[in-house]
Chain A
C-alpha cells in the first residue's frame, strides 16, 4: 500500500503532474538560468534540495503549526534552506555562485516549493512528503535541463562548455537568440507542446463523467 502510494507520488511529480509542463509553475527561473547546461544543473540541484527538505520539515511540523500562520512558517522554512544552499555555494563554489547571481536566492519565491508544501506536505506524513518534494524538484530539473541542452547547443554550439561535433564548427551558424531570453520562451513552449501532445489533458473527460 505504502509502496504503491510512493510510486504514484513519484510518477505524478515526474510526469503526470510535472510542475513545469503540467502546472506551469516556477517557470521564471526556468527561463532565466537555462542558457548554460552547467548553471541549470546547479540550479536544479538547489531546487531539489529545497523542495525535498522543506516538504519534510513542513510535514514534521504540520501537527503543531497553527493554521493562521502556516504560510509564514512555510516561507520561513523554504528561506532557511535556500540561504543554507546559497551560503554553501558562496563558500565552496564562488564561480558558480557568481554565475547564478540572484537566482539562488529567488528560489524562495519559486512557486513549486510553496505549492508542494501547501498542497502535499501539509496533509501527508514526512516520508511521503520528502519523496514528493524530491521528485517534484527532479521533475522540474529534468525539464530545465532539456531546455538548457537545446539552448546551449543551438545558441553556443557547445554542451557543458565543451565542443560538440558539427555544432561547434563553422558549419553551424549560432542562433544567438537562443541564449537570450526569447530563446527560453520558444524552447519551453515547444517542450510543453510536445509533452501535452503525448499526454493530453484529462480534465475534459472528468467533466463528462460528472
Chain B
C-alpha cells in the first residue's frame, strides 16, 4: 500500500497545501498592510483638501498631501458638530463635513466643504464609491464636483438639489450625471440629511 492510498493522505495533503498558501498570503498581507492603511488615509485626506480646494495642483505626492493636511486641518470638536475644521492663521476658514450613505451598488463616502459662514459650499470630493464606471462613477470627476464650488446652501430643505440636465440651474442646484439617476437621487438624499442634521447641531451649540 503506497502512501497515496492511505486514508489519511488526502487530509494531510489538503492541510499541508492550505498551510503553505495561507502562510504566504498572511506574510504578504502583513508586509503590505501598512501601505494599504496609508493609501486609505491619503485618499481621505486628499478628499478633505479637494473639497476645500486647497492647493490642488501642487499636491500630487502622498507626502505633500499628508503635510498639507496635518498643518491646515483640525479634527472635529464640539463647536464644529462633527465637521473637520480648516484653520489658517488661527482663524476658522471652512468646515469639511463628512458625508456617508448608500449609493447604487455600495456605500458612497465623501466630504463637502462649507465656508465659515455655513452657507457657501467650497466643493465636494469622494474617497470611497463603487458606482458604475462611466455612469454613477462620474460623480468623482471634476465635471460633476466643480459644479458645487460657490453654491449656497438653501435655508429650506433641500439645502442643495441635484437636478436633471434639462432643469435650469440656480445657486442651490447642480446638474446630475446623465444616466445615473439612482446614484444622483441617493447622493442628494443623504447629502441633504447630513447637511440639515449638521446645521441643526451647529445651531444648538450656539
- Name A residues whose Cβ lies closer than 8 Å to a Cβ of B: 35-36, 39, 61, 64-66, 68-69, 72-73, 76-77, 80, 83-84, 87-88, 90-92, 94, 98-99, 101, 152, 155-156, 176, 179-180
Contacts and interface: CB of A to CB of B under 8 A. Distances in A.
A155 B178 CA distance: 12
Given A99-B133, A179-B134, A66 B21 contact: no
Given A66-B13, A76-B18, A94-B39, 7 more contacts: A36-B133, A66-B9, A87-B36, A90-B39, A91-B32, A94-B40, A155-B134
Interface in B9-45: 9-10, 13-14, 17-18, 21, 24-25, 28-29, 32, 35-36, 39-40, 43
Contacts of B102: none
5 contacts: A64-B13, A87-B28, A90-B39, A94-B36, A99-B133
Contacts of B18: 76
Q: Is the interface of A mostly helix, strand, loop or mixed?
A: helix
B7 to A, nearest CB: 10
Contact of A91 (B36, B128, B133): B36
Contacts of B14: 69, 72-73
A68 B132 contact: no
> What 10 pairs between A and B have smallest CB-CB spacing?
A91-B32, A179-B134, A94-B39, A176-B179, A66-B10, A91-B35, A80-B21, A69-B10, A101-B130, A35-B134
B197 interface: no
Interface residues of B, number: 30
Contacts of B21: 76-77, 80
Contacts of A80: 21, 24-25
B163 to A, nearest CB: 18
B179 A179 contact: yes
Contact of B132 (A72, A90, A180): A180
A179 B32 contact: no
Given A80-B24, A80-B25, A90-B36, A36 B13 contact: no
Contacts of A94: 36, 39-40, 43
B4 A66 contact: yes
B135 interface: yes
A73 B17 CA distance: 8
Contacts of A83: 25
Contacts of A179: 132-135, 179
Given A64-B13, A84-B25, A91-B36, A98 B134 contact: no
A68 B39 CA distance: 43
A176 B10 contact: no
Nearest to B29: A87
